[in-house]
Structure 1
Amino acid sequence: MKRVLFINVFGEGHINPTIGLVKELMNRGKKVTYIAGEEFREKIEKAGATFIGHKTMEFPKTFGPPNGEAPFKMPENVEAPFKMLDTLKEMIEEIIEAALNSSEQYDYIIYDSMFFIGNELGRILKVPAICSVTTFAMNENTKILGEETKEMGSKIQEFSNSPLYKEFFAHLQGKYGIKLPDLSTIFNGSGMINIVYTSKYFQIHGERFDERYKFIGPSIADRNEDMDFSLENNNKKKLIYISLGTIFNNSINFYESCFKAFGNMDAKIIMSVGNNTDISAFKSIPSNFIVRNYVPQLKVLKQADVFITHGGMNSTSEGLYYDVPLVLIPQTIDQPAVANRVAQLGAGIVIDKDKVTPEILKQSVVKILTGDNFKMNSEKIGKSLREAGGYKKGVDEILNLCDIHEEVAAGNEK
């Protein structure tokens, strides 16, 4: 039985796309061990993998929206990578120790692109290393991210040149033989192959990537999630779904704007407000709204007519997979690039995060619902995402690489 090691270091948007791969690998007789933050134990064990928890990597509060109101902006006075170094060091060593000292002999590893020593760990284990890329693929020819990410990139570069970083990796090299990686390529796929959860059509400059990049589309798999409300719509009302994802989702002002925008609309509104929002704090929730801290997103998207989203790659891809046009309010990192790509292909409308009003929200939704082009273009993208093959195609590519690796290894032994 072949043994697979997954390594992941960040949030839901990095974990969820891999669940389909995990299940499919096991369906094909592979044994999967998954190293991730302890908060994902239940989700991963529910998928059937053996779970190993590591210290959770949390961004400083100054990274997020102060008081839950202001959208993300990299503060000028925060040296985020330096503040996170102690946690980063502990997390990386926990993962390395778990991988190298396991009683299992892994045949290959699959690591999230943000785990920037994944390829090095594969080299030390002498097994193929596959990179999981949960946003747009990037290389030296595709400078596609927004100003916030460029700012973060400069801080990452500063961090990589610091004595603290070099001292830490000198320690890792001496103890484990890990070579110092170039953090300037942290967003680039570094695996022997790179599994990218979008289609070549939706990928920005998809023609600029070689065969090491495997565009498989979203990894849509049944998450076995319960729902405590009904999606029955006997009156055939339009269904609007609203969610700002799992990180930038605690803006009371935004949710109040949605109440004002859609409270009198002849439509059914489902709104996910995140676990950090106290729903009882809302003064009055309109009767056509269903508001929950967490919503089984895939189940809702199957029936939604419009999706109002922060433009995270995972949520955007899931909406488009089900042909749903989007209203996008990008907050940070890759979200502006994702939102602009949707708008460029005619499948949605982008609203500046600093210019959200009830009037603009309603106008955007009405424009999408009354025009055919948005739906037609979302269907075109959705078709490309579904035809990319999903998690089954991803597993095909992974196993093909491993077969080639074994053949090469056998040839070298002769």
Structure 2
Amino acid sequence: MSAFLFVVPPLVGHINPTVGVAAELSARGHRVAWACPEPALVSRLAGTEAVVFPCRGITGIERPPELRGPEALKFLWERYLVPLADAMAPGVRSAAQDFRPDVVVADQQAFAGALVAERLSLPWATSATTSAEFTDAYDGMPRVADWLKERLTELRERIGDPAGTADPRFSPHLALAFSTPELVGPTAREGDAIRYVGPSIADRPAAPGFPWEWLDPGRAKVLVTLGTANADVGGRFLAECLTALRERADRVQAVLVDPGGALAATGEDKDVLILPVVPQLPLLERADAVICHAGHNTVCEALWHGVPLVVAPIRDDQPVVAAQVVDAGAGIRVRFGRVTAPRLGAALDTVLHEPAHRAAAARLRTAFRTAGGATAAAGHLEQLAAGRVPGAGL
């Protein structure tokens, strides 16, 4: 029996993919614990029996909605990722010393996990909940890549082993990418330590009360969601979606997720159901199309079910993921900030009625399920804990 410590940021999209891996390891008899600034969030997603060591986090970071590209990336690192690593490091170190893991599983954006493991000479694996870093997205921006490297070097001097050389985003022992080359594309990063395991899809606790009887079997089902972190910028886009969907009410029925209350709730409207939260995985089993922000988790969960997409990336890794969807033929991209209801409606009509997009989504569904998901990831982690290191470097 081995012990695994998952180090995650307080972000639903980064915790969810690891829940299934942790459950699989527990089912195999291993000890599992978590280190996170929001223990209640882990407990909600992984179950109340989850062992969670608290860490300090940061709060109150609001990004200007107009930031895009390199400036948005710089803001994310300077104002969130780097301060989060500094804040989490003492708690992660205490968790490692108390729990005594055989392996630390560090989220790719929870730098403290990798650097503390390095300092304590513990084997560590990367949990990459987005595939953006596994592409050539930064190849044309050498100044950006150098700036990121400088920030990581400074972090290592503060909380890691100053003599270390590994990039904390890519473990030299094992990097679990919750995607597959079929989606990432021909420039997918390769290396002895990289394992493309596909999405980790696990059952999640869901609040009761969704009106399943509301769904009309005679109309196509569309799910509209901007994820859990974009409520502050989604009002205009959701309003355009609502208009486009109501214009197609004779043939389309939609569930629109509006956590910030940007739209007036309609209750159990016969055409569009507006709710703050929905049981996403069960809905995807019934969906014919998804309109979303190209968040990696939402995209992978849709494609896991063979559902084509209309993607409207907002920031961060979303433009990269959107490009992957389009290049794979599984969806259409629209401009988040400028798209109109007619353009959205035309894109939705295309993915609903042209068979090429559905066929591409079905191919990705097969690739995802063949990759093994949580089961494959748990197996690789067991090998690392047993000293059978998958690779010596990237």
Q: Secondary structure at 2:337's aligned position in 1?
A: helix
Equivalent positions of 1:321-332 (< 5 A) are 321-332=304-315
Q: Secondary structure at 1:201's aligned position in 2?
A: helix
In the alignment, is residue 246 of structure 1 matched against residue 228 of structure 2? yes
In the alignment, is residue 377 of structure 1 matched against residue 378 of structure 2? no
In the alignment, is residue 272 of structure 1 matched against residue 257 of structure 2? yes
Q: Partner amino acid for 2:171?
A: S
Whole-angstrom CA distance in 2 between matches of 1:72 and 1:41 = 30
Equivalent positions of 1:55-204 (< 5 A) are 55-58=56-59, 60-61=61-62, 63-65=63-65, 81-83=77-79, 88-100=85-97, 102=98, 104-136=99-131, 138=133, 142-144=135-137, 156-157=148-149, 159=151, 165=154, 170-172=157-159, 178-179=161-162, 185=167, 188-204=169-185
Tell me which residue corresponds to 1:26. Answer: 26
Distance 1:16 1:145, change over 3 A: farther
CA contact (8 A) 1:145 1:336 kept: no
1:209 equivalent among 183, 190, 199:
190
Whole-angstrom CA distance in 1 between matches of 2:296 and 2:201 = 13
Q: Secondary structure at 2:4's aligned position in 1?
A: strand
Could you state the TM-score of these two structures normalised by the residue count of structure 1?
Answer: 0.82
* 1:57-111 C-alpha deviation (Å, 9 max, x unpaired): 44721x253xxxx5767769x86655556654222222223323x1x32221111
In the alignment, is residue 43 of structure 1 matched against residue 10 of structure 2? no
CA contact (8 A) 2:199 2:300 kept: yes
- How far is 1:123 from its partner? 3.8
Structure 2 residue runs of 5 or longer lacking an equivalent are 390-394
Distance 1:255 1:404, change over 3 A: same
Q: Secondary structure at 1:91's aligned position in 2?
A: helix
CA contact (8 A) 2:198 2:373 kept: yes
CA contact (8 A) 2:293 2:318 kept: yes
CA contact (8 A) 2:85 2:111 kept: no
- How far is 1:138 from its partner? 3.5
CA contact (8 A) 2:224 2:257 kept: yes
Distance 1:25 1:56, change over 3 A: same
Tell me which residue corresponds to 2:392. Answer: none
CA contact (8 A) 2:256 2:274 kept: yes
Q: Partner amino acid for 1:112?
A: D
Tell me which residue corresponds to 1:390. Answer: 373
Q: Partner amino acid for 2:30?
A: K
RMSD of aligned C-alpha atoms? 3.1
Distance 1:32 1:219, change over 3 A: same
Equivalent positions of 1:340-351 (< 5 A) are 340-351=323-334
* 1:352-394 C-alpha deviation (Å, 9 max, x unpaired): 2232101011111111222111111110111100111110111
CA contact (8 A) 1:71 1:353 kept: no
Distance 1:133 1:360, change over 3 A: same
Q: Partner amino acid for 1:277?
A: G
Whole-angstrom CA distance in 1 between matches of 2:303 and 2:85 = 34
Tell me which residue corresponds to 1:53. Answer: 54
Whole-angstrom CA distance in 2 between matches of 1:336 and 1:159 = 23
- How far is 1:199 from its partner? 1.6
Moved more, 376-385 or 46-55: 46-55
Once the two structures are aligned, what percentage of the paired residues are identical?
A: 23
Whole-angstrom CA distance in 2 between matches of 1:403 and 1:388 = 22
Distance 1:12 1:270, change over 3 A: same
Q: Secondary structure at 1:202's aligned position in 2?
A: helix
CA contact (8 A) 2:69 2:316 kept: no
- How far is 1:396 from its partner? 1.1
Whole-angstrom CA distance in 2 between matches of 1:235 and 1:129 = 48
Q: Partner amino acid for 1:131?
A: T
Q: Secondary structure at 1:396's aligned position in 2?
A: helix
1:400 equivalent among 358, 380, 383:
383
* 1:251-290 C-alpha deviation (Å, 9 max, x unpaired): 221121122111132221101112x33554x699964111
Whole-angstrom CA distance in 1 between matches of 2:49 and 2:162 = 33
Q: Secondary structure at 1:404's aligned position in 2?
A: coil
Structure 1 residue runs of 5 or longer lacking an equivalent are 407-414
Q: Secondary structure at 2:111's aligned position in 1?
A: coil
Q: Partner amino acid for 2:33?
A: T
Q: Partner amino acid for 1:395?
A: A
Could you state the TM-score of these two structures normalised by the residue count of structure 2?
Answer: 0.86
CA contact (8 A) 2:292 2:310 kept: yes
Distance 1:127 1:73, change over 3 A: closer
Whole-angstrom CA distance in 1 between matches of 2:139 and 2:315 = 8
Q: Secondary structure at 1:122's aligned position in 2?
A: helix
Distance 1:325 1:71, change over 3 A: farther
